[in-house]
Amino acid sequence: MLKIKSLILVLILIVNSVILIDKDKIESSNRQVELTADYELFNEFEQLNLLTKFSEQGLSSLAVGEESLRELARENKISIESAWGFKGASAAQDEINSNQIYISGPPAILGQVVKRWRKLNDLEYDKEKNRLIIPQSRSELLTKPVYFASRALSLSQRTNLNLIPRFKADSSYQELSSVAASLKDLTTIIFSGQEVVGYADNLIQTAKKLEELDLKLGLIEPFLAPQRGAKELAAQMSYQALRVHSIKQRELEQLGVQAAVNRYFKAVQQRNVRLLYLKPFANEVQTSQFITSLQEKLSEANYDLAVAQPFEKAKDYQQLKVGLILLLLLLTCLYLKEFNTKLAVISLVSGLSLILIFYLLAWSALIVLVSLLIAVIVPWLEYIYLLSTIRERSLKEVYLTFLAITLISITAGLVITALLFDNSYLLQIKEFRGVKVAFALPLLLGAGYYLGQESKTKDIKEEIEIFLAEPVSWRQLLLLSSALVLGVFYLGRTGNQFFIGVSSIEVLIRKYLAEFFVVRPRFKSFLIGHPLLLLGLFRGPKKYYQWLLLGGLIGQINIINTLVHLHMPLKISLLRVVIGVAMQLAIIPVYRLNILTSKGVEQD
């Protein structure tokens, strides 16, 4: 039986490795990072001269937003006249038709507007008077985005910077062709505002139009500026998309040059971001230092400063993933057979039936479900194993047990990574679901198992009746309140979005850890979970310390959770886990010394 289990485990590792090697290859082969500058802000801070300078040193593109005719009129770049109100004097008052609106301005502006609206039949353009006439009934056109600054277009041509249009969502997907016609050599588009063009009913048409124009989609990281429909649009485009990182202007000034450089670099190195959206500091010298330092740091890390390309499409590993799931089911049933043969057979038959049904009807739901089950069950089984082998251990046994449990958690995390891996997770369009469940449920199951073991020799019904009959003490209330507070804090600081903020002290600690290590280890692992597990292993069968073993699951749960951040490079996730574990191994002798010292005065 042991040989069969070992063979299955080897097969699992082989299948897992095939998928993970491809993930690492896709991440490692894409080294092109694009630096794009926000034209409006560089123009506002009068620092356009820097764009010319840095276009020869790695700056690749220029992000340009659209303006409406009303915005242009407020800037005195054009005039708008009608019977309802006048601005400018391009038409004599007796020429004004009450049913028309007259727009006058430079040919460079009006020419671009006419190209954009060339399919509208009710417009009239008078080249001699440089005047565009639209019906009063079409006054809504005055507020629609329509114009890209001609100075930006000229700067782009002069410096060979690619243009990235910031297309506003209140435009239509049909207008994308007009934009592409008026702007040459486009490679990428980043929508501005809170949603993408075509949301929510016309995303398929928008995707088709972008594919026709051979445009990549810039996906702003969701924690920065979530855009409704962006993930769905990227999926419709077969993931021809780039992850984009930016920093808000006020935050940029607060961070300073070096912190801003580190944050952009971290986005590239640790989250697979490939397009960096740069904004200027108010001080031109700081802006120059910022861009120079960022370029140098990226180059030193062997990133190529060039127009970014989407990640290579991952292979379809559906058959391998099905095989991986079947091997996991078989291994689980073989272990169940040692306790109950009937249960093992029932599990095998029901498992095969569910796999077949999900495979035919809801394949993606199957891998999500299996991944969540692994994330919940593995830490729970680790706790059961530790309780069943509880004893005082030597220093060598503590090392080996801690490493063995950690290795199991790493393997579980890597299996989940292999099951979920595809471009949708790589771009963070999809994320591992049930994070809070995976953090809480193993602890609850572990506590239930421990209490169940304690009650085996007792009448559970009688115990419950006695417990309910007893008056509630202040100690019990304090313990319950403390448990609730810790539980809320634990779950509040778990997952992709925290509902409990990070304190300034923690921010400072994170900063120093990030500077000292290549990647920062996770607090819940090296400060909470791993120390609790080690203390529980040291003190052996004492009941108080058996609860520490349960707390030690937090570190193992964190290991699995770290590895299932699929938008992060696999090497970075593994390094983060290794650093957290290494920190514990380095201080184990200190724990041991304290415990040996205390044994002389402490009685069990």
Q: What is the pLDDT of residues 211-257, one digit of tens each?
A: 999 999 999 998 888 899 999 999 999 999 999 999 999 999 999 99
Could you identify the residue written with the tokens 């597990």?
533
Could you identify the residue written with the tokens 């095969």?
352
Question: Confidence class of residue 258 from pLDDT cuts 50, 70 and 90?
Answer: very high
The helix (run of H) or strand (run of E) holding residue 62 is strand 59-67
The CA distance from 254 to 63, in Å, is: 23
Longest dimension (CA), the chain: 107
Q: Are 331 and 22 spatial neighbours (Cβ–Cβ below 8 Å)?
A: no
Query: Is the model more confident about 330 or about 538?
Result: 330
The CA distance from 577 to 392, in Å, is: 27
Question: Confidence class of residue 388 from pLDDT cuts 50, 70 and 90?
Answer: confident
Least confident of 163-172, 422-431, 476-485: 476-485
Q: What is the pLDDT of residue 116?
A: 78
Question: Confidence class of residue 125 from pLDDT cuts 50, 70 and 90?
Answer: confident
Q: Are 493 and 500 spatial neighbours (Cβ–Cβ below 8 Å)?
A: yes
Could you tell me which of 383, 387, 386, 411 has the C-alpha nearest to residue 400? 386
Q: Report the SS3 class of residue 147.
A: strand
Over residues 351-367, the pLDDT tens digits come to 999 999 999 999 999 99
Could you tell me which of 579, 429, 561, 432 has the C-alpha nearest to residue 490? 561
Mean pLDDT of 422-430: 94
Percent of the chain with pLDDT over 90: 49
Q: What is the pLDDT of residue 492?
A: 60
The CA distance from 451 to 431, in Å, is: 34
Give the HSE-up count for residue 330: Cα atoms under 13 Å, Cβ half-sphere: 15
Residue 427 has pLDDT above 50, yes or no: yes
The CA distance from 69 to 127, in Å, is: 18
Structure tokens at 239: 């993931």
Angle at 237 between CA 265 and CA 164, to 5 degrees: 50
Phi, psi of 545 (to 5 degrees): -80, -15
When the pLDDT of each residue in the chain is averaged and rounded to a whole number, the result is 85
Question: Confidence class of residue 90 from pLDDT cuts 50, 70 and 90?
Answer: very low
Q: What is the pLDDT of residue 181?
A: 74
Residue 512 has pLDDT above 60, yes or no: yes
Residue 28 has pLDDT above 50, yes or no: yes
Residue 424 has pLDDT above 80, yes or no: yes
Mean pLDDT of 517-544: 81
Q: Report the SS3 class of residue 520.
A: coil
Query: Is the model more confident about 517 or about 154?
Result: 154
Phi, psi of 118 (to 5 degrees): -60, -20
What does the DSSP 8-state code read for residue 137?
A: G
Query: Residue 341 burial (CB < 10 Å; 0-12/13-18/19+)?
Result: exposed
Residue 558 has pLDDT above 60, yes or no: yes
Mean pLDDT of 336-350: 88
Distances in whole angstroms, Cα of residue 127 to Cα of each of 70, 105, 108, 112, 178: 21, 11, 11, 13, 20
Q: Report the SS3 class of residue 114.
A: helix
The CA distance from 172 to 169, in Å, is: 7
Residue 475 has pLDDT above 80, yes or no: no
Structure tokens at 344: 């093992």
Residue 397 has pLDDT above 70, yes or no: yes
The CA distance from 416 to 378, in Å, is: 11
The CA distance from 39 to 596, in Å, is: 65
Structure tokens at 56: 């020869």
Could you tell me which of 532, 522, 525 has the C-alpha nearest to residue 591? 532
The CA distance from 510 to 490, in Å, is: 18
Question: Confidence class of residue 92 from pLDDT cuts 50, 70 and 90?
Answer: very low
Q: What is the pLDDT of residue 540?
A: 63
Mean pLDDT of 54-73: 90
The CA distance from 497 to 248, in Å, is: 19
Instruction: Return the bridge partners of 162, or none.
Output: 61
Exposure class string for 221-254: b at 16+ Cβ within 10 A, else e: bbeeeebebbbbbbbbbebbbbbbbbbebeebee
